[in-house]
Each structure stands twice: as C-alpha cells, then as structure tokens.
Structure 1
Amino acid sequence: MVLGVRWLAAARVSRRSGVMLGLGFGLLVWLGGMPRIQGADRLVWRAAENRVDAEIEGWPLTKLLEKLSAKTRWQVLLEPELKHTVSAKFSGLKVDEALRRLLGNLNFMLAPAANAPARLYIFRTSMAAATELVAAPAEHSADEGAPPALSNELIVTLKPGAKESIDELAQRLGARVIGRAAELRAYRLRFDDQAASQAARTALESDPNVSAVDANHQVPRPDRPEPLAVGPLLPPFTLRPKATADGSRVVVGLIDTAIQTQGTILNDFVLPGVSVAGEASVPANQPTHGTSMAETLLYRLSLAPDSSSGTPVRILPVDVYGAGQSTTTFEIARGIYAAIQGGASIINLSPGGEADSR
C-alpha cells in the first residue's frame, strides 16, 4: 500500500471534470470549470460564468465537434453519417441552451464517463447509435501540471518494525502528526514552514526507520453538478438490486464527497458509508458530487442488456472531503484503503483539480 500512497501523492487530476476509475455516465454533468474555447471562430466558453458565446456561420458539424473535443476534453460520439450545418449567433447562454442552439434538431446527451472526460453523444433517434468518436485535432494539447503540494507537510511511511515511533520522530524533527493511517504505516506531518519541511525531508531520506517520504498534495472539492437538459429519448430508471447469497456481490468504492439517499435512486444500492474526513454538511436541495456520481454508475448499469434481471452491484460511499473545501492525497489514500477493507473491488475516484489527468 506504500505504492498507493506514493502514486496518489504524484497523481494529476483533471480540470474540474473528474477522473473516474470505474464505469458509467448519467444525467448530471459537472460543468463548473470547463475550459474556455478561444480563437477567431468566435466560440467562447466562459467557464467562470458557465456561459457560452458564439457567432458561427455554415460550419460542418464535425468542425464544431472537433473544437468542442479539443477545448473541453469531452469525448464526442456521433451517429455515423449524421449531417448538420451549424449557424448560430448568441451570447451568454447556459451550456445546455448553447448546445441546443448549436446542434439544432439533433438529439444529444452530455454526461460524465468512466475513467475519462465527459461524453457528448449526438444522435438522431437513439443514443446507442452514437458510436463514431470525433477526435480533437492532433495539434491541440493541454498544459501539464499537478495539484499544489502543501509546502509545510510531508507524508512519512515507516518501515515494518521501525525502532522509532512516528511521535518520537515528529518530536525530534519539530513537527506535529496531524493524520494517521497506522494500517499503512503512513503519517501526515506538519512543520512550521517550508524550510523546516525541506530540512526534515533531507534527514528522513536517510533515516533507517523510514521507507518513504512524499509530498502531500491539496485536492479541491469537486464542483457541485448542475442538471443538464437532455433529449426526451432516455428510458426511465428501472434497475433493481439483485440478491446475492453466493458472494457474487460487486462492491464499488465511491471515493468522493458525502452522498444523499433520500429522494434519489440510491436507497437500495448503497452500503453504510465511511468518512475519513469528519462529518459533512450535506445540502438538502441540491445533489452533492458524490450523489451525482453514484446515480451515474447506476444509470449506466440500468442500460446494460441484462439489467432486467437486476444488478449485484452495491456502492460503498467513502467521504474524503467532510465539510472542507478541499482534501489531500493523504485522505484520498486513506479513503481508497477503507473502501478496499470494506470489500470494494472497483474504485470510483472523481476528485477536483486544476491540472490534467495522465
């Protein structure tokens, strides 16, 4: 599990669109931080305001979709041989309204996707017909980066049988232990300032009791999802839980914010949750990001060919944010471990962040 902590500390997360290690898409899309589309073509995505401006005359459909794919990181799936000429002029429209104006009488659905950016499906009568991937031009590439490291913190992993305890080590280095994952022998240490942290790191790298020293990275809370209007062709949710007395139940560990079950489709599919970040404040009138992701997973399962017989999938929610506006890679590692200990064989991870996922 040391490698898990190290990987998480170095992981890059996507530009507020999330990374999902699992499966699914759904009716809610996370729109808060989509990047802006710029250039002479006069298609502008104003991410901070969640608004779109456009002045387009006679674009082929593929040109529009390539630009959307390049700048929003969406996976765009088009029904083959579908034709449409894009002509539109507007300013300040919300994303769903803008897509309706741009796509005319074509049906579409924009949704989160598994281990990938959001997916935009464009089709005439059936979403299942949208099978042709419209890729961004090769010259469009994204800036790389990483979540910001906390300059006065370190994650220290002790060797098995270490002769010095973490509390003794912290006292010797002038640090405080502010997080403990004893089952991983990993601990979160905070120092007075960056200089003290750097000096301690140098000392710890040659300490015979220490197996790893890592930075701790801050991960922002994912934006709350905004309901996005979609076409009228989506089937109703009819999935039912399947009893599994033979141990064939599949548990998905949802590493995210706290979730709501009341008034949602989740009640029969959610296991008792775990929090590694304290008590959360859950809004009563708006779904949390965790709720949206859980519904996404179940809705995708409901579209499977054999869904009429029910599903053995259950969701184990693990809150790594609590009431905070951010978490860290240390808490995410603890959350993943807790999910595995709770029986999860699939991990669904959708953190916020400002950099690319690689």
Structure 2
Amino acid sequence: MRAFLLVLTLLAPLLAFGEDADPIQPYQPRFGREQPLVAVVGENRMTELVDFLVPFGLLSRANVAEVLALSTGDGPVQLMPALKVRAQATTAEFERRYPQGADYLIVPAVHHSDDPLLTAFVARQAAKGATLVGICDGVLVLGHAGLLHGRRATGHWYSQARREADFPDTRWQVDRRYVADGKLVTSSGVSAALPVSLALVEAIAGPAKAASLAREIGLGDWSPRHDSQAFAFGADGYLTAAGNYLAFWRHESLALPLQPDLDEATLALRADAWARSWRTSVLATGSGPVRSLHGLTLLPDAAPASLAPLPGAEAAAGHALDEALDGIATRYGAGTAAFVATQLEYPRN
C-alpha cells in the first residue's frame, strides 16, 4: 500500500494535465553543463517579492541547478510590496560571464513591464534558447519582449482584461496555475510561484526529486489545477480595501528582523501577505545587510527601533501563506484575510 501511494504521489502532477495543457519540457543538457543554469531577473525600481524570491529560494534549495539572482542595473532591487535586496549580478555582468545564455530565465512581475533594458535582455536570452518562465504578470514582460505571438499563456486574474487588450493574438488560458507552451512557461497570480517552481524542479531532476522537495516544504500539490473563476474582489473586497485604506489611524508598521540564513521563500511569503492587508507596512530591521540562506544580500529599511515584530512563526514555505492569513484574520478580521488571499490568487485550504 505504501508503494502504491508513493506511485500516486509521483504521478499526480502528470495526471492533472488536460488535453490543452502540456508539462514543462524535461531539461536537455546544453554546452556541456553538469547542471542547468537558472537566472531570476528583477527590475531595480519595483519587482514582485514572491515572484522573485520564491523561485530563487526553492530552486537553490533543490540543488539541481546553478541559480543566480540578477538585477537590470547596479544597486538594490526594490521589491513590492515590501523589502529590498542586492542581487548577485547585473544582467550585463551575467551576459559577459555566460555568453551562451541561461537554460532557464525566470521573469517576475515588475512595475515597469516595458522597461527596455529588461525586455531586451529577455528577448536575447530567448534567442539563445533559454526556457522563459513568466511568474504572475511577468508574462507582460514576455509580451513586451515580443514572445507571446500565437502562444498559449496565462497570468494574474486581475490583469486579464489588460492582457487581452495589449496582446490580443496570445491564446490566453484560464483555470491553470501554470501553462507550458514549448519553451514558454507562464503562471497565474502571485502564489503560483510555489507550484511552478516545483514543476521546474520536476522538469530538471524528475518527479521523485520534486516530491522530496514538496515534502520538505509542506506543499501537497504542485499540479496546474486551478479555478481562476473563484478569484474576484466583489463588493466585499472593495469595501474592505476602502475601509482599510481610509482608516489611516489604524495603520501600523511591523518589523521583520533580518538575520543571516533566512529562507528566501518563507520570508517572501510572510512579508508579502502581511504587506497586502492595506493595514500594515512591513519594514526590514537590522544593523546592516545580511546574507540570506542562498546568498542574496537582504537590506534593512530605515525604521524606528520600537516597532512590534511581524506576528507568527517562520513556517515552512508550503504552510507560510496559511499561517500568515490566519494571523491576518485574527488581527484585522476575516474580510482582510480574504482580500489578501484574492490578491495573491491563493486557494486557501
């Protein structure tokens, strides 16, 4: 019986694909590399926190690839809705070091999705044969890089009308956490960074490795199954947003102490959820920069010394959003927790 259940666990992601969905293509070694080269690229002015840190952290933890975090320019990458980091290299430095390009390029959502430095870099990497992975509305960057013509893709539920207007010849998919169309992979809203990262580990190193990592982080399912139609703010969501925003006297800042070797995925999921409540500012505190678990430099904010700490424990990545949303519900009410989950496109258990 135990062996049967193990087989079901390994096959579950594959069984979930319908006729209109293909798995991410298995990794094919190139250039004599022992492991694939994975780059996660951020735009310095504003890059989505979970989209950037979760794939970087999980793929680094899996130890199945060389993983590098890039920025389009020198200096820190401001993440949204909270935190900032210093990447390991700029895109220019990466291209000098790896003229053959990355095997996988992960593109988060950014505020300036038509940034010419970013879109040109993405287009060059695609031309060199990289598999492009757009997390959430990182798909807009792929579109501005000219890579969506006639392709199947998805994105955050909230941007659907914008995507369809800006890129009308793209075959937009719904009810999928992620969509693979050859060497183009895209995902739905923010929380899809978790399952698509596991799907990439599976493509690189096989289902057993992905299942092992899923157990480590407490993620029960990384299939593309998803109900896109379940996500909308509705009247309650808009009323919660307006009430939280306008009641400025109830706003608070909470401290996220920076310590060496913080797990990037858990850090991102906790901070992102709390900072989306429209009641909370999350400020990184510490005496100076610290190194994350897999080598990113985390930078403190200028923050008062007397801030209350962010509630909750540092749960494993697969449980971090549930833990944060439970805390938000306790502190601000169930309506705010639902509002945050909708922004994250997260199907709560």
User: TM-score, with normalisation over the residues of structure 2?
Assistant: 0.27
Of Structure 1 and Structure 2, the greater strand share is in 1
Higher relative contact order (CA 8 A, sep 6+): 1
| Structure that is richer in helix per residue | 2
Kindly name which structure, 1 or 2, has the bigger radius of gyration based on alpha carbons: 1
